[in-house]
């Protein structure tokens, strides 16, 4: 189980550029974690998430809602391959975004 800290950004849903292909995420639904609750929902582009991770000023994790309760997922990491940026929760350097089975919006 992931340890989430106050100030972390929590990704709870995703929107793909092409909902049939699902290789590139266009945007994500993000909450701020205040140490107790998920607050201030916003939408960020994939590039905004990548920039925030690379600038090391924000940490992103995923979260899933089951039976009305939030469950922490995995850390989100950014990497570049063949000149294109991606975000993933696993250690694979596959040329596709992958944040697990988050719902789409």
For residue 55 the two structure tokens come to 């600038």
Over residues 42-58, the pLDDT tens digits come to 999 999 999 999 998 88
Rounded to an integer, the average pLDDT of 18-25 is 82
pLDDT of 5 reads: 85
Residue 22's pLDDT band (boundaries 50, 70, 90)?
confident
14-17: long-range contacts, CB 8 A cutoff, minimum separation 24: 14/99, 14/102, 14/103, 14/104, 14/105, 15/43, 15/104, 15/105, 16/104
3-state secondary structure of 43: strand
Rounded to an integer, the average pLDDT of 69-96 is 92
Is 70 exceeded by the pLDDT of residue 1? no
Residues 6+ apart with CB under 8 A from 47: 85
Residue 20's pLDDT band (boundaries 50, 70, 90)?
confident
Is 60 exceeded by the pLDDT of residue 78? yes
Residue 2's pLDDT band (boundaries 50, 70, 90)?
low
Residue 30 and residue 9 in contact, taking contact as beta carbons nearer than 8 Å: yes
pLDDT of 32 reads: 95
């Amino acid at each position: 189980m992931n340890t989430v800290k106050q100030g972390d950004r929590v990704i709870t849903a995703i929107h793909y550029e092409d909902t049939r292909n699902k290789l590139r995420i266009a945007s994500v639904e993000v909450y701020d974690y205040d140490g107790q609750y998920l607050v201030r929902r916003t939408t960020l582009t994939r590039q905004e998430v990548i920039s925030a991770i690379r600038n090391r000023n924000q940490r992103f994790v995923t979260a899933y809602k089951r039976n009305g309760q939030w469950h922490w997922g995995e850390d989100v990491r950014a990497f570049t391959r063949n000149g294109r940026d991606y975000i993933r929760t696993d250690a694979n350097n596959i040329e596709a975004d992958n944040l697990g089975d988050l719902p789409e919006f």
